[in-house]
Structure formats: C-alpha cells, structure tokens
Chains A and B, each alone.
Chain A
Amino acid sequence: MAIFLTVAVIALIYIVIIQIAKASEYVSVLKGEDVSRKQNNKINGFLMVVFLVLGLFGVWYCNNLYLGKTLLSVDSASVEGARVDSMLWITIAVTGSVFLATQIILFWFAYRYQEKEQRKVFYFPHNNKLEVLWTIVPAIVLTVLVVIGLRNWFLFTGEPPKDAMVVEVTGKQFNWIFRYPGKDGALGKKYFRNIDDANNNPLGIIWDDQLSHDDVVFDKLILIKGKPVKLIIGSRDVIHDVGLSQFRLKMDAVPGIPTTMWFTPKYTTKEMKELTHNPDFVYEISCDQMCGNGHYSMRGVIDVVDQEEFDLWMAKQKPQYLMAFPDKDPSNKKDSVKLAVAPVETAGKTIAKM
C-alpha cells in the first residue's frame, strides 16, 4: 500500500511540475521570448550566488559532521603513514585553496556578468601573458607536490630496515592466511599444486624444504609495536588487496606474482582503543580489490602487541608442519624424546617434490 502511495505522490509532483512548466511556456510566448528570457536570466543569475553560498556552507557543514569519522582525526598507526597524512594536509591546502578560488570566481562571474541591456562585452580573445602565467604557476606547484610524493613513494616501496620481521600474507576467497617464518627466520618454499586444505596445507608448502618445518600458519596477523614488518603478499586464486587503512597503506595480492609492503606499527591495539576512544577498535585488513561475491566480507584482523607479548604468543604456536603430520609432533607421543630429532629426514616422502 505504502508503495502505491509513494508512486502516487511522485506522479503528482511530476504532474504539478509539468503543468507549471507548460503554463510558464505559454506565458513566455505571450510576453515575448525576449522578456521571458530576461526574467529567467535574473532568477538564475541570483540562484548562482545562492548556490555558491549554500554550497560553501554545505562544504563547511559536511566537514564538521564527518571529519571526525575519518582517519585524519586520529594519528596514523604506522610511522610511515604519518608521511601520508602530512602529504594529505599539504595537498588539501593546495587543492582546497584552488577549489575555493575558482568556484567563487565561477559563480560570482556568472552572477556579476549576467545579461544587462547596457553592457558592452569586452572582446578578449587571448592574452599571452595570462596564459603563460597559468601554465607556469600550476606547473611549479605540481612539481613541488611531485617531489614530496616521490620521496615518500620511494621510501614506501624501497627496502625495509634490516631488522624488519617478515610475514607472508596470502589472500583467498574470502579470507586471509598468514605465515611466520619461525625461529630460522626463513619461509619454506611453496607450490600451488601442493595446496591441500584437508591435510592442513592451505598454502601448498613444500615439506621437503626444511626451512618450512618451523613455519607458523595463523589466521590473524600479530605485529610488534615499533618493529618494522615486511609483508610478502600473494594470492591463491584471484587478485585481492591487503588494505591497511589505519596504517595508510595497501598492496595487491596477485596470484603467481608476489608483492611486498613494509611499515612500522606505532601503536598497539590497546593504545589505539584509547586514542580512538573506541573500546571495540580493531585493526582490520580490508580486501580492496574486487574478488568475487564475498568480497565485502574478506576481513582480516591485525593485533599489534609489544615484543614481550609477541614472544609469549609465538612460543605457544605449533608449526604448521606438525599440524600436517601430527605423528611427528613430540607432544603427541608419550615417548617424545627419541622422535624429536628424527622427523626432519623422513618428512617429505609422501608429498609432491619441488
């Protein structure tokens, strides 16, 4: 019922507008096109200024409402992201002032130079000085922005500091898998044909590679405050994207082509809860590249903790190797001492070779 009512009301509005429009057309013909054009001109010239004023008020009002809900209201969660923020503010200042100046000029000119009987237009086809001026000034301003931008860009995409920890991030429809290199600090090799979800090998790790034996696979990303981290990003199926909005960075996950990204977390999750005044705050990884019908739900969680807490957590983790081969796990055997040394040699026999 409500829907019919809505339709009826909308139809009524249409009819009213159209009738008014028709009537005004008759009036304009009766009065003469010239007269009605001048009337319309006055109304619309006035509306140009009204629109400018209301528009600028709207810009201010919108900013009031929503700036606090953006990331600009909180400090960047990564050391590098702070550079994005400062660059954002510079760019806002530059483009914002150009925006204000040109919009005001545009609507003001429209109002100011509306048709008047007595006005003689100024025949002004070109002026080289002016044209050179507004070629060179934007070029200089843009050069400054490019220089700032590229310095940051090369920092973001350059080599991470030597002491960076490494975590592998793999996207799949529709969640994330994280792999830590374990004590040896190196990730074991993997091959996509070895992927076997049923047998605890969601990444296709090659168990023949002994480096893989202490790799820890986890469904959550735990990072250390103040310690640079290098993410090695890949995908199991289609293109995904590791979107880290609080850290101000993102990078695609492309099947077959590993990508990397590094940054230094600045605040623990706990600290961010206080900074944002949001007790539910959590670092989220959003998939930012359309990856299928579950794209919107491809959510990962990051926990930033301090070193101590991280070590404690790490100590509790069981390497994926032992999940895939429970019989090799010393804690599963009563007689654990003997077997603890042995598993390495016999490991890879049952699965695909490199």
Chain B
Amino acid sequence: MSNEAVIHSPVEIGAHEEHGEHHHHHETFITKYVFSQDHKMIAKQFLITGMFWAVLGGLMSVLFRLQLGYPDASFPWLETILGKWAKGGHITPEAYYALVTTHGTVLVFFVLTAGLSGTFANFLIPLQVGARDMASPFMNMLSYWFFFAASVVMLSSIFVQTGPFSGGWTAYPPLSALGDASPGSQTGMDLWIVSMALFVVSSLLGGLNYIATILNMRTKGMSMTRLPLTIWALFFTAVLGVLSFPVLFSGFILLIFDRNFGTSFYLSDIFVNGVGALPNEGGSAILYQHLFWFLGHPEVYIILLPAMGMVSEILSVNSRKPIFGYMAMIGSLFAIAVLAFLVWAHHMFVTGLNPLLGSVFVLLTLLIAVPSAIKVFNWLTTLWRGNIRFTPGMMFAIGFVSLFISGGLTGIWLGNSALDIHLHDTYFVIAHFHIVMGVASMFGMFAGIYHWFPKMYGRYLNNTVGYIHFWVTIAGAYMIFWPMHYEGLAGMPRRYYDYSIWESFKQFAELNRFISTVAMIVFAAQLLFLFNFFYSIFKGRKMTSLNPWQSNTLEWTTPLRPGHGNWPGEIPEVHRWAYDYGKDGVDFIPQTTPVGADESHH
C-alpha cells in the first residue's frame, strides 16, 4: 500500500541541515538520550517522565473513583492487582487514602510542576530567547536526574509493607509525623519526604537556570519587552519556585526532626490511642501549615503561569492577531507573582487563625482576581476579529480559557473567608482547584504539546485523534467537576471513603456513580492521546514547512531537527516583538525581519 509513501512524501525540507556545522562533538547513546545536556532532550525527558506519572496518577484517581462511585460493588480483579489493599475486591480505607494522597502529590508536583514547566521551560526558553542552551546545561541535566531520583523514591513508597503515605498531599502534622496515628505515616512517609526533598532540589536547579538564561542569554535585539509571553510566564514561574521551595524544604526538615529525632516543632499535647501521651510539648501544628502554604500557594501559580504563557502565545498565533495588551499581560503576570506570596493563609481560614490576619488575607486574595480578570478579557479580545485556525493546540488553548474562567470565579467564593468557613474542605474546593489548576493547566500542557510537537519531533500529531481528545476531555472535565460544586454546597466533605453512613451527604450516591463513570471515559481518552504521541514520534505526518503555524517566534527559524546548539551558524538577530500578526495587512512578520521603512507604529 502506498499510503505510507503518500503521507511521508514531502521530506525535502531540512534533511540536509540536520548535520549542521555546529555539530562538533560526537554523541554516544548515553550522552544523547540519557545523560544529555541538551535542553531539548532534557525537556523530552521531563515530558515523558511527567506523562508516566500522569498515567499513574490518573489511574489512581480511577481506582478511588471506583470506590466512591460503587461503594457496595466488589471487583475481584482489584484484589488480583492490589492484593491485601483490596481484600475481597473492595479497596480498603488505607489503600483509598494512599491513592488519594499519592494522586495529589504526583499530579501537583511531578506532572504539573516538573512535567509542565520542566518540559516547556527547558524546551522553549533557549529556543525562544535565542540561546544555544541553558546557562548551565550540566545543572539542567542534574535537575532532571534529581527529579528522576525523586520519582524512583516515590514509586518505591507504593510498595512498602505499611503502604505509601496516606495523610493527604499537604502532609499536615501531627498525622504525618506520627506513625502510630496512621500506618501510612511510617516508612511510606519517610520515602515521601525524601522524594519531595529531592524534588525541591530538582526544582531549584531548574529554576535558577531558567532565570539565568532568560536574563543573560537573550540574542541580539531580544529586549525583555520583545520576549514572547511564554518566556515571561516561565520567568515568573521560576522566580516563584526559587523563592518558595526553600521554605517548603525548611518545613520538611523540621518535620523530619519531629519524626525521627524527638523534637517538638509541630507537636504538642498529643495522646495517641494505644500508645498514650507523647513527650512532645510546646510545638505548633499550625506552623507547618504556614511553611507549607508559603510554597503551596505560589505552587498553584507555578502550575498555572506556564499554561497561561503558552495559551497567550497559541491564541495569538492561531487568531492571526497580536495578543491584546502585551504589557498588561506582563503586568498581570507580575501582579499575580507578587500576590502569590501574600495569600497563603487563605488555606488556613478555619485553623483558628487570628481573624484580623485572616481579613488581610481575604483582601489580598480577592485582589488576585483583578489581574486574572485582565488576562481573561485580554484573551477574549485577542480572539475578537481574528481569523481563527482551530489547530488542536488552539482548541486546548480555548478550552483553557473556558476552564480558567469557570474555576477562577469560584475562587472568589473561597477566598472570602466568611464563605470559606462554610465551604472549606468540601467538594466545592475539589471542584474549584481541579478546574482552575488541575484541568486548566493540563489543557495548557496539551496545548503546548500539540503546538510544539512538530518542533520537538519533526512530525505532526494526528489531528483527528487530537480533536476527539479535546472534545471528550473538555466535556468530560465539566461533567466530572461541575456537579461537584453542588456536593460542596451540601457540605459534603472531601477525602471521605464512604458517604453512606451520613444522613447529610448520602443523597449523592447516584451522582458519584455518574462522576466515576465519566472519569473513566476521560481517562480512556487520555490513552488515545498517549498512543497518538508515541505513534506520531515515529510515524506521524511529516512537516512540509519549517514554520507550520506561520509563527513569529525564534524556535521556528531553527532547522527541522536542531542539533545541540539549536542554530547552525549565527543565532538570528531580533528586530521586533513576537506578535506582529496581521500588521499592515501582512499575515505574519517573524521577529527576525528588520523593521521596514514604511511600517506603521503601534
């Protein structure tokens, strides 16, 4: 059959450029694919490791949704897979809480932090600022391998006899500090905390590198105000990470001391059933929450900002129109980055926090809605009177905006402490943060993958699968999380293994079954994407143009498969900002095009 020949016929472009003059050093398999110092390869390593965790974390959610949706059913095959964790085909409470905790940890840190900003900061920063690689390729490599080590340790914690950590991804002590209070807080917690410590190291190595590269290694003419918004977003992301991860780390160190060396930073007045009174006195369990959320809140922006940046870029490219309000977009990113550090205690309104302090955090929290609103309106205006091309990347970018609106608005509810006192720790919160941070950022990530896949692998992802993937995922995401708002408004608490004994919450059994079913379908749709991804790396439709989206940014000026060093010969010089689409009737003007004499000013 000649279909393969048809699909792969136009292979002329770039083939001869692959061995550009910049390819001095000989690369072995190890230096090219394993301990690579090429930012593009490291990005792919982050991406594929992130995808591995996304599948595992997603599978965990399917398993615990099985319990929530079908609390009375018995699934013998579960016992085959999970053994003692699903005796008689029922997931045990221990296993349920371990699944919930690991799902949260893995998705927040390994997928949406490492998988998202690890991938795209590595891939896009040098390519879009016009640099041959990161400021320190070696540190960059270490960053990935620390992440890899963190992954191995986290994975191993699933297999210890007392089970993985099961106290929720926030790991609040005393529960996380006392092995006697919860079996998951024994060896499982030791491994969890070691893994997280390794992860912090990885994040810092990466983040410092991103900042140094953006500030120092921009090509000639690439002033800060000519940077694509992706880079601005990744820059603020890195700053947030560098300033807040060390605080989390300090919190973990104190926790390690409390767990292993008999200190009382977080422990006081505790009597554990079956053990008796503990010797610890004078600590404050709330101290941990302050340290945790000092990272924890910036963390949600660490997850969200890269998605915002990529979406801004993709929306503009595919609307064939400049992003509306470029400076306002940078300003709002900056405002979000600053405010991200001043709102952490809104996670702690019901801990007995000083009410006056609480009120300050209400004010600052709701203030974040202003830059968020600016961004949304600017995205909408970018679409207005554009000429929109619905590439799969564009679809996910539009989906991101929709989800960001839906999830962001409920933040106005939860940030207002007098409402939070009612809705805190209910399914309303689950709905809020899954939509605005989980699914929205996931959409940003998908948008990025669909958009930059051709640059990564020199081929396209399959469009049809991409469209099916998009429509199933967005419809499914809304069907899963939208009704959860109603569960939250009924006061239904999160992290419950079974609601049937509760008179107040048992009316949602049918809804929970529906949600679980949709969750499984959405998970299945992600496998479709996974297949598309790996299949297309090797067999995807080949590119017929070096600049498939007719985009202005620098990465599309590189050869089809750029070697280490990105540009053979000189790095191109930049003459304009990244968003000259439709200017003076010209469809697009790449950043490398000098400003013409008769060009209009904006």
Contacts and interface: CB of A to CB of B under 8 A. Distances in A.
B416 A21 contact: no
B30 to A, nearest CB: 34
B491 A299 contact: no
Nearest to B272: A237
A342 to B, nearest CB: 31
Interface string A99-137: 100110111011001111001111111110011001100
Contacts of A120: 582, 585
A107 B97 CA distance: 39
A113 B385 contact: yes
Interface in B416-443: 416-419, 421-422, 424-426
B321 A51 contact: no
B269 A192 contact: yes
Contacts of A84: 418-419, 421-422
Contacts of B359: 150, 153-154
B6 A29 contact: yes
Nearest to A252: B351
Interface in B395-428: 395, 398, 401-402, 405-406, 409-410, 412-413, 416-419, 421-422, 424-426
Interface stretch (A59-67, A207-215, A222-230, A306-314): A59-67
B159 interface: no
Given A103-B405, A241-B425, A153 B271 contact: no
Contact of A294 (B93, B358, B424): B93
Interface string B248-264: 00000000000000000
A87 interface: yes
Contact of B326 (A33, A81, A88, A125): A125
Given A58-B478, A124-B384, A135-B374, A295 B531 contact: no
B462 A192 contact: no
A291 B284 CA distance: 17
Given A84-B419, A149-B419, A115 B383 contact: no
Given A138-B373, A142-B369, A17 B465 contact: yes
Interface string B578-602: 0101111100000000000000001
B389 A115 contact: yes
A139 B369 CA distance: 8
Given A24-B464, A243-B425, A237 B273 contact: yes
Q: Which of the listed residues A122, A249, A290 has the most CB atoms from chain B within 10 Å of its own CB?
A: A290
Interface stretch (B13-21, B56-64, B170-178, B186-194): B170-178
Contacts of A258: 352
Nearest to B349: A153
Contact of B395 (A44, A245, A256, A295): A44
A281 B506 CA distance: 12
A151 to B, nearest CB: 8
A329 B584 CA distance: 96
Contacts of A116: 387
Contacts of A233: 352
Contacts of B579: 125
A317 B479 CA distance: 51
B386 interface: yes
B225 to A, nearest CB: 12
A60 B498 CA distance: 28
A282 B503 contact: yes
A105 to B, nearest CB: 5
A185 interface: no
Nearest to A38: B389
B504 interface: yes
A291 to B, nearest CB: 6
A122 B385 contact: yes
B468 interface: yes
Contacts of B401: 106
A217 B490 CA distance: 30
Contacts of B272: 173, 237
A200 interface: no
A153 B527 CA distance: 46
Interface string A56-79: 001100110011011110000000
Given A114-B390, A125-B602, A146-B416, A99 B370 contact: no
A180 to B, nearest CB: 21
A256 B177 CA distance: 15
Interface string A282-298: 10101111111111110
B496 A295 contact: yes
B418 A66 contact: no
Interface of B: 3, 6-7, 9, 77, 93-94, 97, 166-168, 172-175, 178, 181-184, 267-273, 276-277, 281-286, 319-328, 350-352, 355, 358-359, 362-363, 366-367, 369-370, 373-374, 376-378, 380-381, 383-390, 395, 398, 401-402, 405-406, 409-410, 412-413, 416-419, 421-422, 424-426, 462-465, 467-468, 471, 474-475, 478-479, 482-483, 486, 489-499, 501-505, 507-508, 511, 524, 527-528, 531-532, 541, 544, 579, 581-585, 602
Given A138-B370, A250-B350, 19 more contacts: A25-B464, A41-B388, A43-B467, A48-B398, A59-B482, A72-B489, A87-B419, A99-B405, A99-B406, A102-B376, A123-B582, A123-B583, A139-B370, A153-B418, A278-B503, A288-B425, A290-B172, A293-B182, A299-B501
29 contacts: A14-B527, A21-B464, A21-B465, A26-B6, A70-B490, A91-B413, A95-B412, A102-B405, A106-B405, A110-B388, A115-B389, A121-B385, A124-B381, A125-B325, A125-B326, A130-B377, A131-B325, A146-B363, A152-B418, A153-B355, A153-B358, A173-B273, A250-B424, A255-B270, A259-B352, A293-B94, A293-B166, A295-B495, A299-B501
